[in-house]
Amino acid sequence: LDNFSTTGLLKMNGTAKQVTSAGKTLNNFEVSGGSVTQVGALTLSGTFAQTAGTFTQAANNNLTVTGDSFTLANSTTFTRASGSGILIFDKTGSMTFADNNSTKQNLGTVQIGASPTVTTLTTDMSANNLTIPNTDTLNTKGYDVTLQNNLTCQSTCVLDLTDTGPSNEGDGTIMDIGGNWNMSGTFTAYTNSLVFMNSTAANNSNVDIATNGQAFNDFECKNAGTTNDDCNISGNFTVN
């Protein structure tokens, strides 16, 4: 795999195939059909593209993409890592995200960068947890983000819901959060954007909203569980 560390494309398809990098960094990687399973940690210096078939992230291991894009084509299946595995978008500079499935794939635990990275959505996104570390930025461009659990935006992170061109959706971002909202950095709300604290039946517990004094456009707190749980707010709470 040495030749793939800085150049080239590794394209995989077929039944029950495995990709094992053995600690080496690959460049561009594509799943073009069949079923491919990651074994061990996998780091790409280029792009991740799934044009067909099924990809399974390794349990308790990270998938790190440092190229220009992460793309899932329609009718593909991305199986998130079980356990402690994280999907990390870590381009130094800017990269784009696209999940073109009609039902968005739950990506598990997602981290935007290891500083500094600017990730821009070109479709909606679904995950269990989303972390934006210090100095990293997520631009939603009007696309929706659905999280089963927590949003964590650390220190000087930026979460920007600005819905302007080019390549924006145009109907305002809905942040649908099933767990806690932990904002330590900069949050930019925008016209028609909504933060929806939607405590799910699976969570069925109080949710915490740490605002860091950042204002919301529209805000809704709903308990979808079986008990009358609370939304606990810390910091100044402003809805414009």
Residues with Cβ within 8 Å of residue 165, at least 6 apart in sequence: none
Query: How would you classify the pairing of strands 93-99 and 117-121?
Result: parallel
Query: How would you classify the pairing of strands 28-39 and 48-56?
Result: parallel
- What digits encode the pLDDT tens for the residues 156-174? 999 999 999 999 999 999 9
- What digits encode the pLDDT tens for the residues 102-144? 999 999 999 998 778 999 999 999 999 999 999 999 999 999 9
Give the mean model confidence (pLDDT) for residues 208-225: 89
Looking at residue 3, its pLDDT comes to 47
pLDDT at 147 > cutoff 80: yes
Of 214 and 230, which is predicted with more confidence?
Answer: 214
43-57, 123-137, 145-159, 197-211: lowest mean pLDDT where?
Answer: 197-211
- What digits encode the pLDDT tens for the residues 19-37? 998 888 999 999 999 999 9
The reported pTM is: 0.94
Tell me how far CA of residue 151 lies from CA of 21, 50, 177, 179, 197, in angstroms. Answer: 31, 26, 7, 8, 11
Most confident of 114-118, 129-133, 176-180, 232-236: 129-133
